[in-house]
Amino acid sequence: MPKYAANLSMLWPELDVYDRFRAAAEAGFTRVEILFVHTLDLARIEQQLQEHHLELVLFDPAPGDWEAGERGLACNPGREAEFQRTLEEALQTAQRLGVQRLNALTGIPRPEVSPTAAHAMIVENFRRAVPKVESAGVKLLVENINTTDFPGYYVSSVERAAQIVREVDHPSVRVQLDQYHVGMIGADARAALREHLDLVEHVQIADVPGRHEPGTGQQPIREFLADLDALGYQGSVGLEYRPSGPTEAALEWLPRSQR
């Protein structure tokens, strides 16, 4: 049975982010994930994890200037040093918080950067990162993100994420398969899972359209989750969705005993 992680960037939006750790524990979760921690108080996060006996399974290194539209640094030439610096900072945080997976957003190529150049730049940046993440015992992940939510994002499909990971060719670099983003480009998450299971380190889910809880859209999420079980997937499944109503109601599809 898959192990579920409550996404604290999306669930319980009515609560202060630090109070969401308690809410997750009270809802029966032992695992959580979050998008970014570099803007938060790490001491408070550490305290919340310890107090509520939670494992933080994943977060994202700093993605550049989010307010200016940046969605990662790895694809653009000239940002190599900054990418490595944000990764080093994230690894220090991961060691402090006991995190073993980092999802590094790869970015939107600048207009003058061709797809070929963007691809090569991502591979080069991740290859340079390998000694750091391997030494830290951390997996560095490449996630597929759809171009409706992030216009121009280069790694828009699981196939492209898997191609990058295969070119980096190191067990410390793996795929984060986001079923929602697969659905948003009209592709088949179940087929993508079967094709690239050997590379998948982390999974996230949400229904399409709306990015709400399973059952609110058109995606075969229950079947996808059954596939994870049948195929022997051992990682976590992040509940990275926006509740369509109160979070407690948006979690009713998942029995407490399975959280």
Query: Which residues participate in catalysis according to the annotation?
Result: 143, 240
Q: Rounded to an integer, what distance in angstroms lies between the CA atom of residue 83 and that of residue 74?
A: 6
Buried b (16+ CB within 10 A) or exposed e, 62-97: bbbeeeeebbbbbbbeebeeebbebbeebbebbeeb
Token digits for 42? 């790490």
| Secondary structure class of 141 (helix, strand, coil) | strand
Residues 6+ apart with CB under 8 A from 114: none
**129 vs 84: CA distance, rounded Å:** 7
Per the structure block, which two tokens stand in for 249?
């109601």
